[in-house]
Amino acid sequence: MHELALSQGIIDVIRDQAAAQGFTRVKTVRLVIGTLSHVEPEAIAFGFDAVSRGTIAEGAALDIERPPGQAFCLSCEKPVPLPGRSDPCPECGGHQLVVTGGEEMRVKELEVE
């Protein structure tokens, strides 16, 4: 379950930011997890709950934004939506796609006290 390690990484980011900015409690963590990222939001929520215990993020709400997959089709020579990593181009049915969005995972914002 790599989401547990990713959740620990989120806690590490929070600790670093708390040290740099001097806050003592996190109320909300806003994440961006792209639909093509191979990260399950439910597993992140479970892992975050586990690894945040005893930290300044314990009890913090998770707000997860899920940007859709995007690609550039080399056959059509245009950007297209990409619901799944192995899906064909919705325009031409081809598979010559370069993913351009929806793979990200990052901490977007922290609401703190």
Residues at the annotated binding site? 2, 73, 76, 89, 92
Beta bridge partners, 33, equal 105
| SS3 at position 18 | helix
- Tell me how far apart the alpha carbons of residues 93 and 81 are, in angstroms, rounded to a whole number: 12
Beta bridge partners, 112, equal 26
Closest CA to 79 of 99, 93, 95, 94: 99
List, as residue ranges, the binding site for Ni(2+): 2
The DSSP element (H or E) to which 14 belongs, if any, is helix 2-21
CA terminus-to-terminus distance, the chain:
31
List, as residue ranges, the binding site for Zn(2+): 73, 76, 89, 92
